[in-house]
Chain A
Amino acid sequence: MSLPIQHRPRIAEPGHRSLRAYSFDPSLSLRLDTVAINRLTYQVDWESVTPGPVGEYLEVLDYDPTVRRFYLPVDLNDRNLLAQHGLEPSESNPQFHQQMVYAVAMTTIKNFEKALGRKIQWSPRRTLDGPGYEEYVAQLRIYPHAMRDANAYYSPLKKAILFGYFSSTPADDTQQMPDSLVFTCLSHDIIAHEVTHAILDGIYTHYNEPTNPDVLAFHEAFADIVALFQHFTFPEVLKHQIARTRGDLSAQNLLGELAQQFGTAIGGYGSLRDAIGRQDPNTQQWRPLEPNSDEYRQQTEPHARGSILVAAVFEAFTSIYKVRIADLLRIASGGSGILAQGELHPDLVNRLADEAAKAANHVLGMCIRALDYCPPVDITFGDYLRAIITADVDSVRDDRYEYRLAFIDAFRRRGIYPQGIKTLSVESLRLPGIGTIAEYNSDSASQKVLTKLIGRLREYAIGIKYENDRAKIDAFTRNFIGKLRKEETGETEGIHQYISEQFATSKEFTSFTGIAFVLADSLHAAVVHQTTYSSRPSFQVQNLRLVSRSGPDGLQINHVVFCLVQRSGVVFREGKVVGHYNLKEGIRTNPGDTEQRMEFRGGCTLILDLDTLSLKYVVNRPLLNMQVWEQSGGEIAVLDTTRAERQYRYTRQGQHHHHNAYTQYFGQQVQHLSEPFAFLHQH
């Protein structure tokens, strides 16, 4: 008897696709001391791909406009290729380039998804001005050979990453052949860096607007942190280094050092790590740099400022690593903690590498998770520190390795503090809990509005929880936000309409969100932008997401997070706020006008706990002057002129503070930047 074919054993889809690639970039394969660690087999989550590779998230399109040619796309399903873990790493085969870009980009995406506990989405395409006119973008496009330049950047306009190639003229031509071709798409760090820019744009699109010196610096630093720590999560790379430095990752740190050296071929990227340490010109030894608490106040150039943040996170990582391996070192040294001369035992090397990779994974996760606790506009490094601490308190109850302290200490040493807190500790840094609105203020009507909203969001959570199709998640979310009320039932409106109508019932909602929902006095109506079809102040609901993840000690979080963003058209004369304009009229004024215009944003991130049905945290950057609002009992709504004027000064000054000659000639005015990242790596 023979079984019908459908009952015969079938081979399940593999869990992952193995793809060979460089762990750094090709130049390290030319050095004897690093060649061993420069090959890595990336384990990319399995997905169905077509030649390109084109998958769910990415569309690698290898068109080279400089020669008007396509390069043949790699077919990752080719059976010969599958059987040997992808193409052999090679600079001269563009199909390998496509493979590597895909492998590293997917690894980065998956690291984000793992940490965030949800699928990532690319930032939508804005087709017309105004809210709502957005188009879903399923795949980020990647051009591995887009230009002949030592540059690579994420273009928010095209939802694409453009990688360049160039002929190198290295500082040290013993390390590289002069005039050899260098491909930016073969560098793990550049790929991870640029993909991170794209992912961050999908979460907080307003972080592309440099409203204070920290914003672009944050974008750069965060991208670099992800690239850097992604390296550390590969134990293969770490083992080699630990054996070489005998376990001391901070004194002589290859990863920090390598990360910098890799700048020999491609500038700009390594420079963010300059604050970690540098080579002593006399001894040629690499040394960590002592932090200076004035740096944060003094540096304004995005790279220099970003490097402070990178160094702070890096120091936190090394502190954590040291704590984690203290016991191993004691065991290996018979209790003294001082290792004997000579090479380390390979078992010890393996264990140390495991600990380092684990610590790196944790740090990477902490840094990514913190994104859910950041304000939607105008971020500062201090906000980010608070977000890191709060996110960690939420997901890890017992911080037995003192991760949070390590972060606080490293930030403190560089003079990075959030505004308005009196002491630095986990308790003071953690965002203040709002709890239920009843605790905040015993107005039961408001509590009802909020409870009903959370009930709604629970429906959203249930609706979205088991949906894996990103396009469907997006459509569902959009509908959930923007749907208008059905006349007959009067029930099923989207949360935008709900918030707009219900939050207008009490001044309390303005008090804790900093968003104006109602402007009683027509005198103040001009402060906040209004659309033509509503009598209420306009605001956007952005970035609604379900955060469902469990921490290492089993702590389960079920949050729904969303942001509210509000705009105001502000008119300035001689640096002072003198009035408002209708945003529809546009930002441009005539040359010679004494008045200038600026679009000014405020917003808040609301974190709601579905388990306790409470509003857990609010992170806000109000448009309004909240002090005046509170003192007047919610009667007087005026702009936060201090922040508006600070932003105005910063953006105007920016015109005279060019990062480099390239921005001097070709940059746009900071207040309307179309391609914020194109110039950052130009020198």
Chain B
Amino acid sequence: MSPAVPTTRVDVRMYCLGTGDCFVLKFFAQEELQFTMLIDCGSCMGTRADFLPYIENLVDYVEGKLDLLVITHEHQDHVNGFDKCLEEFEQLEIGEAWFAWTEDPDDPQGRAQDLLQKRQKMRLGLRNAITQLHTNRGAIHAEQTNLKANEQALLALDAFLDGMDTLGAVNLDEALPAAGGLAGMRKIKQLLKNKQVRTRYLLPGASLPMPQVPGVRFHVLGPPLDKAHIFADGKEGRDTHPRHTTPGEGILAMNSFLTIDGDISPGDLPFSDKYAVGAQGLVQSELDHSPAESAVYLSQARDLFDRYAAFDNKWRDIEQEWLYTAGSLAIRLDSHINNTSLALAIEIGTGGPVLLLPGDAEYANWESWHLIEKWNGTGPNPKHFVTDLLSRTVFYKVSHHLSFNGTPLDKGIQLLNNPDLAVMVPLDLRRISSRWRTTMPNYRLLRDLMERSQGKCIIMDEIEIIPRPSAQYDLTTLGEARYRVITKDGQTLAKQYTVFV
């Protein structure tokens, strides 16, 4: 391999594991393979057996060696492959591994550790809340079910549990949350440690070269450094309220989930404990009333408390409702982890074509790219460098599986105006968590991407997507050299698109 030869093409292979990311990029100088990288490995659905055919093909395809492994963020649909197929990954030789700075256990400023700790706490709380909800559901179900109100309560609860299960599927392991995060993330980190692979935690604004591919630069766009962007949920404007973007409020609710089975200490109460009536019930000596009145007060207060638990009044109790707060926490956890996505722009030769690989970055992550100060005015006439990179993007791995918040408008898609643009979408409506089906794909975004890529929109599986993109543009007309579908025994294993420089 002669170091002076520039890259002439990149093969991007999307493994069709189900909604989730697993991408192999191979860089070539003419026919010579220069560099192989893997970005993520996971899917919303599937067992080890389901994963194996794909991973075996992958191991084959990379010829046992990865120059670079990139893990964008800690969601099951990006990392669970490393858990399910750990043995296969153990066989691979890995040159270097990149994570976002948010994964750095030794972040000198302690920000990453703080985030990881909060994430861990949120996972524990969520798991507790979900368990409690299922327990309550069982209890309601066991009661009389012929009541209309009861049936409606169950419907509401089921709709909620469905959402929790969807978010849980991506954010939680089936086992109790363990320190160190999701099993896939934990195991791949351990593997890298065992193999003594050089591991880097990247900060936005870095532009890294790799010796195998001279002239190629890996620009780190995100995740942002400030908390405000990591916790922002995207729909900026008067609809977004700051209370949703910081963990502060979350922690208050979270604490109540963490103590769900435990004892309550006075510090857990919102008021001085002199107002609270504990398990021992009302005791006369606790009251400030004069004795004559206190007896009356005592019996009236006891009557009132008894109403709460009385059988006839059970339909009015509120044992479920407070657990619903776990829903907004789950969304916040989910959104925050998406925003910790390591977002890369690979520039092939100065001023050359760009491959945009943003993980599942949401709006705030995208927005922060444009705020990287050192890139102010470093693009032509003097634009921000990110604007320049986006305008040169010829390949875009669509963020967050075509959801509305994965690709912003003015900070994102409206800047993707290169005529050679092609996009790949890791979305498969057969293999997806149930509540994602309602927002993925976002049809407006899909339409826009179809236009901008002039039809070069490669979806993992087009099932249920109407109209089918392939009905509007036949990808096979691109020719074998640009577009291929890799199959085995009639099963689609991967789709591949080639970027020519």
Contacts and interface: CB of A to CB of B under 8 A. Distances in A.
A67 B244 contact: no
Interface stretch (A91-99, A613-621, A623-631): A91-99
Interface stretch (B3-11, B89-97, B296-304, B424-432): B296-304
B488 interface: no
B311 interface: no
A666 B318 contact: no
Contact of A665 (B272, B289, B331): B331
Interface size class of A (residues with CB under 8 A): 35 or more
Contact of B331 (A64, A170, A662): A662
Contact of B159 (A166, A170, A667): A667
B328 interface: yes
Contacts of B249: 150, 166-169
Residue of B152, B238, B316, B331 contacting most chain A CB atoms (<10 Å)? B316
B270 A162 contact: no
Interface stretch (B72-80, B160-168, B378-386, B450-458): B160-168
Interface in A143-185: 143, 145-151, 155, 157-160, 162, 164-171, 178-179, 181
A112 B447 CA distance: 50
Interface in A61-93: 61, 63-73, 75, 78, 92-93
Given A65-B319, A71-B271, A169-B248, A655 B276 contact: no
B240 A683 contact: yes
A271 interface: yes
B371 interface: no
Nearest to A669: B159
B399 to A, nearest CB: 16
Contacts of B167: 665
Nearest to A67: B264
Contacts of A162: 318, 321
Interface string B107-147: 00000000000000000000000000000000000000011
Contacts of A169: 242-243, 245-246, 248-249
Interface stretch (B205-213, B216-224, B251-259, B474-482): B251-259
B278 interface: yes
A655 B437 CA distance: 11
Contacts of B245: 169
Nearest to A165: B270
Interface string A40-65: 00000000001110100001010111
Given A69-B269, A128-B148, A667-B159, A683 B244 contact: yes
Given A145-B270, A661-B331, A75 B297 contact: yes
A574 interface: no
A153 to B, nearest CB: 9
A37 interface: no
B277 A69 contact: yes
A65 B324 CA distance: 12
Interface residue tally on B, bucketed by range: 35 or more
A71 B243 contact: no
A666 B330 CA distance: 11
Given A54-B304, A63-B318, A662 B238 contact: no
Nearest to A133: B148
Nearest to A64: B270
B155 interface: yes
Nearest to A128: B148
Contact of B149 (A95, A127, A168): A127
Given A167-B249, A661-B335, A666-B163, A50 B304 contact: yes
Interface string A665-683: 1111100101100100011
Interface of A: 50-52, 54, 59, 61, 63-73, 75, 78, 92-95, 125-129, 133, 141, 143, 145-151, 155, 157-160, 162, 164-171, 178-179, 181, 263, 267-268, 271, 274, 655-656, 658, 660-662, 664-669, 672, 674-675, 678, 682-683
Q: Lowest 8 A-B CB distances belong to which pairs? A: A665-B163, A267-B241, A66-B256, A148-B253, A147-B322, A674-B156, A666-B163, A674-B152
Given A50-B304, A157-B315, A170-B242, 17 more contacts: A61-B307, A66-B256, A66-B322, A72-B277, A146-B321, A148-B253, A149-B325, A158-B318, A169-B242, A267-B243, A274-B238, A656-B438, A658-B439, A664-B435, A674-B153, A674-B156, A683-B241
